[in-house]
Structure 1
Amino acid sequence: MSSLDLGIIGNGTYGALIDKWARIVWCCLPRLDGDPVFYDLLNKGPDGSEPPDENAPDQGFWSIEIENAASSRQFYRPNTAILVTELTDRDGNAIEICDFSPRFTRRERIFQPMTLVRRVRPLAGSPRIRIRLRPGFNYGAQAPSITRGSHHVRFFHSGFALRLSTNAPLTYLLDETIFNLTNPLSFIMGPDETLTGGVEETAREFEERTEDYWRRWVRRLALPLEWQQAVIRAAITLKLCCYEETGAIVAALTTSIPEMADSERNWDYRFCWLRDAFFVIRALNSLAEVETMENYLRYLGNIVGSAEEGHLQPVYGIGLETRLDEHIVETLPGYRGMGPVRRGNQAYEHFQHDVYGNVILAASQSFFDERLLQRATMADFERYEKVGERAYAMHAEPDAGMWELRTRARVHTSSSVMCWAACDRLARIAEHLGLMERARHWRRLADEIHATICKRAWNEELGAFTESFEGDQFDAGLLLMAEVNFIRPSDPRFQSTLLAIEKSLRRGQHMFRYATADDFGVPGNAFNICTFWYIDALARVGRTDEAREIFESILACRNSLGLLSEDIDPATGELWGNYPQTYSLVGIINAAMRLSRKWEDQV
């Protein structure tokens, strides 16, 4: 059965997932939310712990296999997005496969083509290999038309074509023949365009320049003293989840990986949730990586500029699409056969009022940060004020909440807190701009929302804030009250709420979103970002040793390449949910930055 022990490569245009046997099992083209040309992850592919079965009639993958495979070793080149897989056969013969997406500066701009490069070379002995390249189109419904050139193969379907240029024997590739690997081979798959140089020299140049780019990018990061490798891998992966043409940030690269086994909690996360994106840019900003924020603010400005009466959806397409109609894909059985496979996400129709706070929080830094190439203007402030007015209007209205409940609406406390954050930050921005009348206006609205939350979300009998107004349940979103400065961590009300959340939602070292039944029953797996919120809350109230212990335990749940999905089975530690999950990677960065010893205390 498939697993989420997968590497990711990408360059800000597209992304691909590769298993430990060097099979590309997921890759959407021509962009992050496109048609999965390689889709074996959702096609009941082989057991990721075993070498591929040469007789398996599966489709939607690209493998470079060593005959009689016995073991594999996979790792990233240090401080890069270049993935290396070493395969060894039963007799000790070995090969190395290097996978990457070109990304580097060319002619004073980032060169990031829709191109995937695979380089394979013998490492030991006399290895024999086979190449199986089996793309598909329309979510596996159609096979491509294939034409052969002198040194390339063309895969075509319905106006979209991919060209593979290679110095490998095309006959062996097309017939999937096993042959002796005596010299390095390179494969460059991308748009149907002729290479300007030779295959080997082009692949080598792309690899060298891509490696140099990522090493220099990492060098600029302001890292914590501890857990540096975990932070670096999380930061690079967050960067790969950015669609840089527009500035959008996807929540994950995949669709329909279940939140738990046979739960039907299968969603398409290849879109830009304004909530998730805010947390991404804030985490990267903490590492002094502001370019992603600048790109995202371009995207956000387009959304806010076209918002009618200040209304915002919680999620948009990466090309600013507003309709993300949800459909069931009948042609794919799903991860481990656990369908349904969904394309699109109904959440675009939801009312989730926390979105207004997330938008203003994301935009706030652009009014204060002197490093930015393009600072926010007065016109920007006026546009964001419309968002704030909507936040005020909605702060005590029912919504689907941040957990996107599909059949139940309440006045969710976390949504109202974010509406307060919108008004609070607008007051601060106005004061910074010298607009004292507007500052007083927004402070008055923020204070009103604050008082409403303290009155209606506080349950005197339970001695804690609850997940909804006049409620008696808890959710992990309440932990954000301290993170957005709604309430001080030292406030007895926050500390008693933290204790209530621990009692209700903690399972071992993991935290659940909530513990009550929703549209699909009672949740069975922990939501990783909630555990990180819990770690943050513990640190804020002075329980640092506990926070460090839990942080170390969740780091141990990462896969072999240091990555996390959305959910974890608290009993087994197995990863579930869409992958790689930006929220979870944000948690790694935030926890490390908060808990790490200071540089000045060590060096």
Structure 2
Amino acid sequence: MSEPLGIAEHGLIGDLRTCALVGVDGTIDWFCPLRFDAPSVFGAILDQERGGSWQLAPAGGVTRTHQFYYPDTAVLITRFLTADGVAEVHDFMPVADAADPGHRQRLVRQVRGVRGTLRMRTRLDARPDYARESCRTETRGDGVLLTGADMRMGLSATAALEVSDGIVTADVELRTGDTAVFVLEMLGPDDDVSADAVDATGELLTNTTAFWHHWLAQSTYTGRWREVVHRSAITLKLLTHQPSGAIVAAPTTSLPAPIGGNRNWDYRYVWIRDAGFSTYALLRLGFISEAREFIRWLSERLGHRDCAADGRLGPLRVLYDIDGNLPDETELPHLRGYRDSAPVRVGNAAADQLQLDIYGEIIDSVYLFNKHGPGISHDAWQDITDVVNWVVDNWDRPDAGMWEVRDDARPYTTSRLMCWVAIERTIRIARARGLPGDIVSWSKARDEIYDRIMTKSWNSDLEAFTRVEGGSELDAGVLLMPMLKFLSPADPRFPSTLDAIERHLVTDTLVFRYEPGTDGLDGDEGTFSICSFWYVEALTRAGRLEHARLALEKMFTYANHVGLYAEQVSATGDQVGNFPQAFTHLALISAAINLDRALDGE
């Protein structure tokens, strides 16, 4: 069996309900039907032999491939160059109206002969329920019905389909200008296989490209890095569950960082931190609707806080599934993991951690929505005041920190910092809108936190803010201080902290989130891409614009061939971790916008 594709050797398609990864070899090797956090039917990225996949490629040898997006859309094109000619596969998931209540989920694969004569071959091996089952296949009038694990899918095509041992195959010869279409549709319990989508492929493609063009036209960004920023915006949109407003951290689970290690987590959930940052990035680009829908989703979580009734973990949890439930973490021992990086996990135990920083990130996004959007409601304000009153009473507790360390709780500086943000932004909202609240007690707690950070988290020997109170380790999260208006970039303590981080955490322009080997886990992780973009923004705010621009341009070179980023960059320059990662793309957007403004003298 050939070596698995690199994590970054994939493009992403989606329909605002779920996503699929399409490899440069034309294989869909990750797809969870109906929604992001559902069990996979194609999971070969986690186990080539058992996971299931949908292959579509030339039957003969391939000289090379190219993969790119149709401009300003999520329609992915994979071009195969062979000795006999050239063919293209256009992969997309139709989206005509984001709020369409009658949406039918489909994977559409249209292959076209560009030059010469090629024989294209497809092989669909669906393995439902994380490959714990094989599909039952049945030839029906317009195609093949696939069932298993309470799931029904229909495959229809313009080519003759053959079925054997649950696997569907087809061969088709294409000359210049010929096309063939394959459509996999998610079916309800009473639906049958239909060729309607095959017949309407041209219309589906036209409507989908029109949707993405119309959506992106709302962007207010006109800066130097338009293509890069807009690709990140489309990626964040693809990670939005449109029916609910939820924003997931990544569409994958258990992609390792590093490869061969056991830092394999499930990120197909709504992290309050990541979603809050994503809302900020989308607001900066003018996408008010997405922010409004996420604030609505968040309000529903705040309005139903039974899971935290004991007060131990506060009014919010670190993460939720799309429905607002808490996913249990389990392992799937029957899957080998990406390049044998076991275990494969579903669910995430971080839901049971106390991470105080989430309150700052989420209230900051509410503050920006209130400032740039239509404003929050009375009920939402009541929820926010309940949250901030809890923060006032609990900000000095040790916790797991923003990096979710699975070790003893500690007094993390970034947790204190974000608690300060939560309180400070609430005070701003109250004053701007004249809303009721205990501003006196809030202000007292805010000032106590400020004094605590400036005295307990400042190490005069290092001349830097440290990872924990009274500590000597560094944390790239403190780069956020000037961005969050906690500290002026001209305050002598910030440039000296920046210098210390450059000495200990920066390698070229890539940034470790903290000093390697200090989190109690096996394996050496790579540099954290969100921190590398925070570094760009910190350099910008410190007035080091030439250095900031160089660092940003270098970070762009670590994107994959279609502009996507994973969580981390390994020591060899490879992308590792779940892919693509929302918080990497949102940090890119923020860094580019702020550097643009600084270069323009604003």
Q: Give the TM-score band, short-chain normalised.
A: over 0.9
Describe how 1:321-400 pairs up with structure 2 within 5 A. 321-322=325-326, 324-369=327-372, 371-372=373-374, 375-400=375-400
- CA gap of 1:399–1:411, structure 2 versus 1, over 3 A, is same
Q: Distance in 2 between matches of 1:337 and 1:195?
A: 37
1:7-41 CA-to-partner distances (Å, cap 9, x unmatched) read 00001111000011211010112210111111111
Q: Is the 8 A contact 1:329 1:343 kept in 2?
A: yes
Q: Is the 8 A contact 1:565 1:578 kept in 2?
A: yes
- CA gap of 1:163–1:388, structure 2 versus 1, over 3 A, is same
Partner residue in 1 for 2:40: 36
Q: Tell me if 1:185 matches 2:189.
A: no
Q: Tell me if 1:229 matches 2:233.
A: no
Describe how 1:287-302 pairs up with structure 2 within 5 A. 287-302=285-300
Q: Distance in 2 between matches of 1:499 and 1:598?
A: 21
Q: Tell me if 1:122 matches 2:123.
A: no
Q: Distance in 1 between matches of 2:600 and 2:520?
A: 50
Q: Tell me if 1:499 matches 2:502.
A: no
Letter aligned with residue 365 of structure 1: L
Partner residue in 2 for 1:67: 59
- CA gap of 1:157–1:110, structure 2 versus 1, over 3 A, is closer
Partner residue in 2 for 1:162: 153
1:506 shift after superposition: 0.8
Letter aligned with residue 176 of structure 1: T
1:195 shift after superposition: 7.2
Q: Distance in 1 between matches of 2:437 and 2:124?
A: 64
1:433 shift after superposition: 2.2
1:519 shift after superposition: 2.1
Partner residue in 2 for 1:213: 211
1:194 shift after superposition: 4.7
1:461 shift after superposition: 2.8
Partner residue in 2 for 1:485: 485
- Between the aligned residues of both structures, percent identity stands at 34
Q: Tell me if 1:557 matches 2:558.
A: yes
- CA gap of 1:514–1:175, structure 2 versus 1, over 3 A, is closer
- CA gap of 1:111–1:231, structure 2 versus 1, over 3 A, is farther
- CA gap of 1:158–1:572, structure 2 versus 1, over 3 A, is closer
- CA gap of 1:204–1:251, structure 2 versus 1, over 3 A, is same
Moved more, 275-284 or 438-447: 438-447
1:392 shift after superposition: 1.7
Q: Tell me if 1:133 matches 2:124.
A: yes
Letter aligned with residue 293 of structure 2: N
**1:89 aligned residue (82, 90, 94):** 82
Instruction: Give the TM-score normalised by the residue count of structure 2.
Output: 0.93
Q: Distance in 1 between matches of 2:170 and 2:185?
A: 23
1:94 shift after superposition: 2.2
Moved more, 8-17 or 589-598: 589-598
Letter aligned with residue 253 of structure 1: P
- CA gap of 1:179–1:214, structure 2 versus 1, over 3 A, is closer
Letter aligned with residue 70 of structure 1: T
**What secondary structure is seen at the aligned counterpart in 2 of 1:119?**
strand
Q: Is the 8 A contact 2:145 2:192 kept in 1?
A: no
Q: Distance in 2 between matches of 1:429 and 1:139?
A: 45
Partner residue in 2 for 1:78: 71
Describe how 1:563-578 pairs up with structure 2 within 5 A. 563-569=564-570, 571-578=571-578
1:217-272 CA-to-partner distances (Å, cap 9, x unmatched) read 11221123211111111110110011122111111111111111222111111111
1:200 shift after superposition: 3.7
1:142-178 CA-to-partner distances (Å, cap 9, x unmatched) read 1011111111211101321111122221238966354
- CA gap of 1:436–1:315, structure 2 versus 1, over 3 A, is closer
Q: Distance in 2 between matches of 1:254 and 1:59?
A: 14
1:197 shift after superposition: 7.0
Q: Is the 8 A contact 2:264 2:342 kept in 1?
A: yes
Q: Distance in 2 between matches of 1:302 and 1:379?
A: 11
Q: Distance in 1 between matches of 2:390 and 2:479?
A: 24
Partner residue in 1 for 2:280: 282
1:435 shift after superposition: 3.9
Describe how 1:433-582 pairs up with structure 2 within 5 A. 433-435=433-435, 438-515=438-515, 516-521=517-522, 523-569=524-570, 571-582=571-582
1:58 shift after superposition: 6.3
Q: Distance in 2 between matches of 1:418 and 1:387?
A: 13
Moved more, 126-135 or 179-188: 179-188
Letter aligned with residue 367 of structure 2: S
1:120 shift after superposition: 1.3
Instruction: Give the TM-score normalised by the residue count of structure 1.
Output: 0.92
1:468 shift after superposition: 0.9
Task: Specify every segment of 5 or more residues in structure 2 that has no aligned partner in the other structure, as ranges.
Answer: none
Q: Distance in 2 between matches of 1:97 and 1:59?
A: 23
Q: Tell me if 1:9 matches 2:13.
A: yes
Moved more, 265-274 or 513-522: 513-522
1:83-107 CA-to-partner distances (Å, cap 9, x unmatched) read 011112222x22221111111239x
Q: How many residues align?
A: 583
Q: Is the 8 A contact 1:105 1:111 kept in 2?
A: no
Q: Is the 8 A contact 2:86 2:113 kept in 1?
A: yes
Q: Is the 8 A contact 1:103 1:111 kept in 2?
A: no
Letter aligned with residue 202 of structure 1: A
- CA gap of 1:575–1:441, structure 2 versus 1, over 3 A, is same
Q: Distance in 2 between matches of 1:131 and 1:558?
A: 29
Say what the alpha-carbon RMSD is for the aligned residues. 2.1
Q: Distance in 1 between matches of 2:101 and 2:560?
A: 30
1:457 shift after superposition: 1.2
Describe how 1:233-248 pairs up with structure 2 within 5 A. 233-248=231-246
Q: Distance in 2 between matches of 1:527 and 1:94?
A: 38
Partner residue in 1 for 2:142: 151
Q: Distance in 2 between matches of 1:508 and 1:523?
A: 18
Moved more, 489-498 or 180-189: 180-189
Partner residue in 2 for 1:401: 401
1:445-468 CA-to-partner distances (Å, cap 9, x unmatched) read 211221222121122232221111
Q: Is the 8 A contact 1:332 1:341 kept in 2?
A: yes
Letter aligned with residue 596 of structure 1: D
1:322-367 CA-to-partner distances (Å, cap 9, x unmatched) read 2x21111112111112111111111001010111112211211343
